[in-house]
Amino acid sequence: MRAVTSTNLADFAGIYDADVELVSVTPKNGPRMSDVADLSRRAIKARWSQTPGDRAVTEEQVHRAVESEASACLVDEIDSATQLMADLLGCTGAGIRVATLNGPMCPRFHVDYVPCRMIMTLMGPGTEWIAHDEVDRVAFEGRTNETIPVVEGKEVRHLKAGSWTLMKGGTWADDLFHGVVHRSPHYAGDRLLVSIDPMFSKADA
């Protein structure tokens, strides 16, 4: 298995390659850092579902969660990412979560039980993950084991801040791969995180 890193949004199509576990793209025209810094200092916690690319709903939910002139950059990121996921995956809905964090939200290494998930860390350290071929399966499957489940001589990897990363999950269609092993970074500073799940039916909501 391999990971694709790029600055070209078109490279997200690589997620369909059987040997690709994630695609991480750092858009060339990302949000202004001053806007992101302003948002990361605010207490934001929001979750909703919507039709991909429905900017009016995105604006309503973001403005309900945070009052800031900088919130327009967050709307732009979510709107663009949901439209991309609809074009790429054919999903009819998107489940969105936005939060500012100052500690790990998911402290244990795990696999998300979804087909795939878009992770966008707009500020702060990115998600930690372990390449498929470098996961110590004995340690990972021992749920009371606090050992980091990486094989000897290998290291935990980190997603780049500012990137959009699409990770295959536990219900991806390929029976040969069961999802990217990852966790929130163990970091005490502020983070601004957006996650987006594709939805294909009412049951997904």
CATH superfamily, region 2-204: Jelly Rolls (2.60.120.10)
* Strand, helix or coil for residue 166: strand
Separation between Cα atoms, residue 87 and residue 193, nearest integer Å: 23
Separation between Cα atoms, residue 146 and residue 109, nearest integer Å: 10
Q: Which residues pair with 157 in a beta bridge?
A: 129
Give the pLDDT of residue 165.
Answer: 97
Contact between 41 and 172 (Cβ < 8 Å):
no
Which sequence spans correspond to the domains of the chain?
2-204
Provide the residue-wise pLDDT of the chain in tens; the chain has 205 residues: 899 999 999 999 999 999 999 999 998 888 888 888 888 888 899 999 999 999 999 999 999 999 898 899 999 999 999 999 999 999 999 999 999 887 555 678 999 999 999 999 888 888 999 999 999 998 888 766 678 999 999 999 999 988 999 999 999 976 677 899 999 887 767 889 999 999 997 656 5
pLDDT digits (tens, 9 = 90+) for 4-52: 999 999 999 999 999 999 999 998 888 888 888 888 888 899 999 999 9
| 142, two tokens | 């021992």
